[in-house]
Structure 1
Amino acid sequence: MFELAVGLTERKHDVTVVTTFPGYNIAEGAALPKTHFASIIKESGVKVIRVWTLPFHNVGPIARGIGQLALTLSITGGGLLAGAIDAILVYSPPLTIGVAALFLSRIKRAPYVLNVQDLFPQNAIDLGVLKGRLPIRFFEAMESWVYKHAALITVHSEANARHIRAKACASRRIEVVHNWVDLAEYPIGINGYTFRSKYGLDGAFVVLFAGVMGHAQDLDTVIEAAKILQLEERIAFLLVGDGVEKARLVRRVDELGLRNVRFLPFVSKEKYPELVAAADVGLVTLKKSMKTPVVPSKILGYMAAGRPCVASLNHESDANAIVKNAGCGITVPAGDPELLADAIRRLFQSQESLREMGHRGRQYAEVHFPKCVALDRYEQLLKSCLIQ
């Protein structure tokens, strides 16, 4: 979302971002800032208000719930420091930021646009993380309330739009605005030779997963696929990131004695394109129980870098259609390590297919997911909210 803020600023709009101090997904070696309740700075021409809140990442479900509720107060407080505003753009999850936007909308007398990236609480219910009639009803009521009062709801795929339209509470406009990738960060011909050399991956066929290692990502299936392929000496699984499941996954790999799986911490946004370019294949995985039609954004990075992907997802995900329409990879059902291993082996054995899929993915991203298209759409939609 910060890229969107910078893009709108470059188009002569006055943009203020309200966010928390960074406390998760931090690249190795990055320094944690000293935190006060709030700080106001300029980043890339954008006014950024950072606020303190309770931690809600890499913690248990109860602490996460409390942290997300506290986030409502923190973001509302930060928004009060923003001065006069014409419109509010907020993303979900966490859904509680939508509650903060609703409060600020009333206080500032400005409409808010809700960008829904994942369908909470349904995704948490699917994963078994959110249980019990009362908690489920509480968050479903919050979802209805936030949807109902938004001037506009944006989603990143058609299936997400259908899901929200099916809710009687969603009486407002719903628009599909695809997520984007900054293609300038992935110049044609980008390679990851330096990264490969640094981590001893020269000559390896690198299968990459980079991102959050949480309950939804189904990395157990990836580890089981690695076990199946452990006799293929050149195939190396590289799992980059952090999350509540990482420590357990590291222990699992140690228990199995797998030498073809390596874990690395998060890399910075600036180094991420080089990381993706160092891979031969990118992985996109979600648990079989995940029925919401989410499109993991890492697919766009793989496409931009010209790397094919293997998507292990349920048929409900719109990501399957993207991979098939682009011809940029192989899709397999979620939760099946045998089929996942077979797809990886097929790509390993066909360098020509790798190049063709990677090339098609890059071309598809250039047409469907450039940043300028998303900027145009959000600029138009925000302006339309002001004249309603």
Structure 2
Amino acid sequence: MNILFLTLLDFDSLEEQGIYTDLMREFALNNHEVYIVSPVEKKTQQNTYLINEKNVKILKVKIGNVQKTNMMEKGISLLLLNRKFKNSIREYFSGVKFDLIIYATPPITLVNTIKYIVKRDRAKSYLLLKDIFPQNAVDLEMISKKGLSRFIYSYFRWKEKELYKISDYIGCMSLANVKYILKENKTVDSDKVEICPNTISPLNIDISDVDKMKIKQKYKLPLNKTIFIYGGNLGKPQGIDFIIECLRKNEENDNSFILIIGSGTEYNKLHKIFEQEDFNNAKLMHGLPKHEYEMLASSCDVGLVFLDHRFTIPNFPSRILSYMQASMPIIVSSDGNTDVGKIATEGKFGYSCSSQDIEGFNVLLGRLNSKALRTKMGKNSRQYLENNYNSKVSYSIIMKHFMGSESV
């Protein structure tokens, strides 16, 4: 099959690990012809270009700036994204007849490009639903359903509905996502909505205890405390105020150390707190290169997930996959609508608490100071990843619609 994948993720090789690159690599390994359209932002000063890798072609389309820029520039860039992707496909892939087009949210603004390919090639379409927008922006009070911003909401809500309508299949990250989509979108046929979770191709990162100690020393981390790590975006979705209060509460503990690694719109706010307050049990680091991060994360003990308590949509952060790959138990501090905490608890590889419950979070820190418990739950974590969040799983879920079988 000729597979077309549209993404906002900036990558130039399937050798990189991630939920999308690993899935596309799985398609390539199964002898499909894979065509990927991926952006290269204006600030890189590169024009559109094509990369060839055996049966994989990656079209890097020059777009406006989207990452680490102001909301106005990001909004304009996303609105122009559809036209730029569509024109580039016409120019570079005009002779290719696609059988299946796969795309993920964000963004929700590629409707016309998808319609164009579906009509031109009679292709099937599969939506990987990773982000429920614009409701997530409403939850965080970035836009409103009232006042002038209601027009912005209405426009994007219309785009969202249109995206669901043109998709032959909608793959959701978890059962809570499936239920939410069907509840809030009565016109969506339940037969085309299914669970297609975030997945990776798990790596074996074996680090000896001696090397773990050296890595901790390199980054000036304590050797005699349990290291709880949060790695990823530091923005409004993480509920930074709750994280700050958890850091303050953890100062009362003797054996728990919280390491935060990331970047995002709220990083400076967190950095300012670290400058103002002398934390003995916490450290803040700016984002690291992926390999360095994976090595450091694999030297830590417990993974942390933070989601703002205001969310009414069920998020499922892909960040947990790197924790699970490193055989770490996780603590999920979230709203009451996501089911990631429930899955971690039922899978016996993690605990959960409300992202308003500072005391409850602190209790979980203390519980996971037990090395024996961490080891047991860490093994469960890795096993659950391999059984449920392996790229082979999501590949099979998608392909069963075209191969007439659950496995290929």
Q: TM-score if structure 2 supplies the norm length?
A: 0.84
User: Corresponding residue for 1:128?
Assistant: 141
Give 1:33 shift. Answer: 5.4
User: Corresponding residue for 1:213?
Assistant: 234
Give 1:100 shift. Answer: 3.1
User: Corresponding residue for 1:195?
Assistant: 215
Instruction: Please tell me the residue identity of whatever aligns with 1:101.
Output: I
Q: Deviation string for 1:314-348 (max 9, x for gaps)?
A: 22112022111111122111133232222212222
- The verdict on how the C-alpha distance between 1:220 and 1:195 changes in structure 2, with shifts beyond 3 A counting, is farther
User: Are 1:363 and 2:383 matched, yes or no?
Assistant: yes
Identity %: 24
User: Corresponding residue for 1:138?
Assistant: 155
User: Are 1:292 and 2:309 matched, yes or no?
Assistant: no
**For the residues of structure 2 that align with 1:366 and 1:176, how far apart are their CA atoms?**
17
Instruction: Please tell me the residue identity of whatever aligns with 1:334.
Output: S
Matches within 5 A, 1:254-333: 254-333=275-354
- The verdict on how the C-alpha distance between 1:365 and 1:169 changes in structure 2, with shifts beyond 3 A counting, is same
Task: From 163, 166, 180, give the equivalent of 2:199.
Answer: 180
Matches within 5 A, 1:33-44: 34-36=45-47, 38-43=48-53
Instruction: Please tell me the residue identity of whatever aligns with 1:2.
Output: T
Q: Is the 8 A contact 1:59 1:244 kept in 2?
A: no
User: Corresponding residue for 2:34?
Assistant: 15
Q: Is the 8 A contact 1:17 1:49 kept in 2?
A: yes
Give 1:53 shift. Answer: 1.2
- The verdict on how the C-alpha distance between 1:68 and 1:310 changes in structure 2, with shifts beyond 3 A counting, is same
**For the residues of structure 2 that align with 1:328 and 1:66, how far apart are their CA atoms?**
42
Q: Deviation string for 1:281-314 (max 9, x for gaps)?
A: 1110100101211111122221221111110012
Give 1:138 shift. Answer: 0.9
Give 1:119 shift. Answer: 1.1
User: Corresponding residue for 1:27?
Assistant: none
- The verdict on how the C-alpha distance between 1:76 and 1:264 changes in structure 2, with shifts beyond 3 A counting, is farther
Q: TM-score if structure 1 supplies the norm length?
A: 0.88
Give 1:128 shift. Answer: 0.9
**For the residues of structure 1 that align with 2:106 and 2:88, how far apart are their CA atoms?**
18
Q: Deviation string for 1:332-372 (max 9, x for gaps)?
A: 11133232222212222x22221121122122222222222
User: Corresponding residue for 2:6?
Assistant: none
User: Are 1:153 and 2:174 matched, yes or no?
Assistant: no
Give 1:195 shift. Answer: 3.0
User: Corresponding residue for 1:168?
Assistant: 186
Instruction: Please tell me the residue identity of whatever aligns with 2:21.
Output: F
Instruction: Please tell me the residue identity of whatever aligns with 1:40.
Output: L
Instruction: Please tell me the residue identity of whatever aligns with 2:180.
Output: H
* Helix, strand or coil at the partner of 2:261: strand
Q: Which sections of structure 2, spanning at least 5 residues, go unmatched?
A: 1-19
Q: Is the 8 A contact 1:211 1:241 kept in 2?
A: yes
User: Corresponding residue for 1:26?
Assistant: none
Equivalent residues, number? 374
**For the residues of structure 1 that align with 2:261 and 2:159, how far apart are their CA atoms?**
34
Q: Deviation string for 1:72-121 (max 9, x for gaps)?
A: 22222333222412221000112123453234333444232111012111
* Helix, strand or coil at the partner of 2:110: helix
Q: Which sections of structure 1, spanning at least 5 residues, go unmatched?
A: 24-31
- The verdict on how the C-alpha distance between 1:62 and 1:276 changes in structure 2, with shifts beyond 3 A counting, is same
User: Corresponding residue for 1:110?
Assistant: 123
**For the residues of structure 1 that align with 2:262 and 2:28, how far apart are their CA atoms?**
30
- The verdict on how the C-alpha distance between 1:222 and 1:174 changes in structure 2, with shifts beyond 3 A counting, is same
Cα RMSD for the two superposed structures: 2.4
**For the residues of structure 1 that align with 2:137 and 2:89, how far apart are their CA atoms?**
28
**For the residues of structure 1 that align with 2:258 and 2:79, how far apart are their CA atoms?**
37
Matches within 5 A, 1:343-354: 343-348=364-369, 350-354=370-374
**For the residues of structure 2 that align with 1:63 and 1:335, how far apart are their CA atoms?**
33
**For the residues of structure 2 that align with 1:145 and 1:189, how far apart are their CA atoms?**
51
Once the two structures are overlaid, the 10-residue window that deviates more, 85-94 or 41-50, is 41-50
